[in-house]
Amino acid sequence: MNKRLMLASAIALLGFTGSAFAADSAGGQGFIRGELGSTNTKLSADGESDSEDDVSYGVRGGYYFNKNFAVEGFYNDYFSKSEDGVSLDVTGYGIGVVGKMYFAPAMDTGWFVDGRVGAAKIKGKANISGMGSVSDSKTKPYIGVGIGYDFSRNLGLSLNYDYAKTDFYDVDVKLNTVAAALEYRF
């Protein structure tokens, strides 16, 4: 009797372990995400500060190792304004990690929250008509959070907030971005 019980337990355990590995291997997806939103760019120097909002857009891509963990790379156009012969552009690209948690943990569709952190190379370029241009870039950390809904294992929408801070020529720059995103996983 004990041998039969042990054999049945071993078979059940192997079946459970196999289904757990199958569920885990269901991760393993590449993704690409387009983002469109607004970035508030705040410039501060010598005790003075000014901020302005501008339309921003970006693209992210990467790989989900499972439904809860991914690596990402991205490009973002944060700010681009031109006025009275002066233009300022702020762009960035970077790499990071993403953590994602579904409201129903057994699911891989439905409502979710996510968080991301990584390093971004942020470039600022200023051009003054008739005088030329200057640019500077720094690699700094970025962080972000999001909430969204995955319609299927391959398609989801989200609303995201990202924050990055850098400095160009003794001018502090803070970038606060809110963007809607469409993500396709393959």
pLDDT in tens, 87-131: 989 999 999 999 999 998 788 899 999 999 999 999 999 898 888
Q: 35 versus 50: which is more confidently predicted? A: 35
| pLDDT tens digit sequence for 67-96 | 999 999 999 999 998 888 899 899 999 999
User: What are the CB-based long-range contacts (under 8 Å, 24+) for 124-130?
Assistant: 124/88, 124/89, 124/90, 124/166, 124/168, 124/173, 125/88, 125/89, 125/90, 126/86, 126/87, 126/88, 127/86, 127/87, 127/88, 128/85, 128/86, 129/85, 129/86, 130/85
Does the predicted TM-score (pTM) go above 0.85?
A: no
> What's the rounded mean pLDDT across residues 120-146?
93
Residue 3 banded pLDDT, cuts 50, 70, 90? low
Considering only CA atoms, which of 36, 64, 58, 40 is closest in space to residue 50? 40
User: Both tokens of residue 135?
Assistant: 């640019």
